[in-house]
Amino acid sequence: EDQVTQSPEALRLQEGESSSLNCSYTVSGLRGLFWYRQDPGKGPEFLFTLYSAGEEKEKERLKATLTKKESFLHITAPKPEDSATYLCAVQTTNDMRFGAGTRLTVKP
């Protein structure tokens, strides 16, 4: 069965302390991997789509990378406004499956 696992479940960082979030997946027929940011009580906000192993994308303090079995979301010098839940989702031939998310808190 297709599975998407995100780790850690929660992460607390000091402002400026860089770190990475992990999304590992076991799916058949990967068509795309997505990263979303979700603030409490709001809809997910699109960040990146990655299509093939080796691909990297950057946006401000965020960089997403993809291998054959996992994706990383690197956060460089985070700020308190980066606090949110980060969701990873995998699109296969027949399904769109989300991970449970990593709840990131950045303290000033």
Round to whole Å and give the CA distance between 8 and 27: 20
Q: Which two tokens stand for residue 80?
A: 């308190």
Question: To the nearest whole angstrom, how small is the minimum distance from the Cβ of residue 48 to other proteins?
Answer: 9
- Residue-wise over 75-100: b if at least 16 C-beta within 10 A, else e? beebeeebbbbbbbbbbeeeeeeebe
Among 7, 19, 24, 49, binds other proteins (CB under 8 A): 49
What percent of the chain is helix, strand and coil (3-state, nearest 5)?
Answer: 5, 60, 40
Report if residue 32 touches other proteins, rule: CB under 8 A.
yes
Give the residue with the Cβ less far from other proteins, 53 or 77: 53
Cis peptide bond N-terminal to 8, omega within 30:
yes
Report if residue 94 touches other proteins, rule: CB under 8 A.
yes
Report if residue 87 touches other proteins, rule: CB under 8 A.
yes
Question: To the nearest whole angstrom, how small is the minimum distance from the Cβ of residue 107 to other proteins?
Answer: 25
Among 29, 67, 96, 105, binds other proteins (CB under 8 A): 96
| Contact residues: other proteins, CB under 8 A | 31-32, 34, 36, 41-46, 49, 51, 87, 89, 91, 94-101
